[in-house]
Amino acid sequence: MIIGFLGTGVITEAIIRGLYDVAHYEGTILVSRRSEERSQRLSETYPDVRVVDQNQELAEQSDWIVVSVLPEQVSQVLSALVIRPDQKVVSLAAGISLDELRSAAAPTTDVVRVIPMPPIEYGLGPIALCPPDDATQALFSRIGTCVSVSDENQFNLFGAASALMADFYGQVSGVTQWMNKKGLDVPTAARYTTALYHALADLTVRQPPEALQTMSADCQTPGGLNAQFLARRNRLGANQSLTDGLEDILNRLESAADQES
């Protein structure tokens, strides 16, 4: 199978590296020349990656077309292509509905929306799919944890949650910088902080879903350090800020969908 990527950004690179380094993918991957530096680096690193100059040429040679351009460019890029009925189109673009994708990618109707995260380069992290699709899940489950839904409104919940990435990194950096300001050297502070967040995340994924509701309470003792810290955060509205932020992102995604209708 030949997979062609329209757009060679950070997520495209993460997918390709995950497929070859983690999943040991043996097929050919085509990438468009944008961005030239990244596409060239990938073709030099992986013998089965080829850079293609023209989008139509890439489409003609691919079994799957992965759309990895900016959302506002999706319809224009797809509509300019001659796509075969037997081809699969996988869109990574946020906020572009299945209806709009099918319209732009006609005559094919085999269209899937996917939300991958950068850690898939290392075979980690969620990969949201809509609608459920066996072939797409079989490929992406080799580099992450696939979660599929049929309802695009529910799919938007995954899109909103994916916006937590920068906040997470900001927390890790913030704790490290706080330690450094208190006199601890950066390498030591970073070593502790990253190990802490990694361990907490690893422990979390080992729990059954129902346990997630009690994990916070379970690690608090009356008058203890965790209880003190969380109580202060709650007084300052940290939890409300979390849900308000998610609602804002969800509203943005739903508004984009409404504008297409």
- Reported as a single tens digit per residue, the pLDDT across 79-132 is 999 999 999 999 999 989 999 999 999 999 999 999 999 999 999 999 999 999
CATH placement of domain 2-150: 3.40.50.720
Which tokens hold the place of 199?
A: 């361990």
Residues 6+ apart with CB under 8 A from 219: 226
Topology of domain 164-256 in CATH is ProC C-terminal domain-like fold (1.10.3730)
pLDDT at 35: 81
Buried-exposed string 27-59: b where 16+ CB fall within 10 A, e elsewhere: ebbbbbbbbeebbeebbeebeebbbbeebeebb
Is residue 165's pLDDT more than 90?
yes
Residues 6+ apart with CB under 8 A from 146: 126, 127, 128, 129, 137, 140
pTM, 2 dp: 0.90
Our measurement of the distance from residue 164's CA atom to the centroid of its chain's CA atoms, rounded to an integer in Å, reads: 11
Write down the residue that tokens 């906040």 correspond to: 167
Give the confidence band of 34 by pLDDT, cuts at 50, 70, 90. Answer: confident
pLDDT at 48: 97
Which tokens hold the place of 182?
A: 């208190």
Does the fold of domain 164-256 match that of domain 2-150? no
> Where along the chain do its domains lie?
2-150, 164-256
Is residue 260's pLDDT more than 70?
no
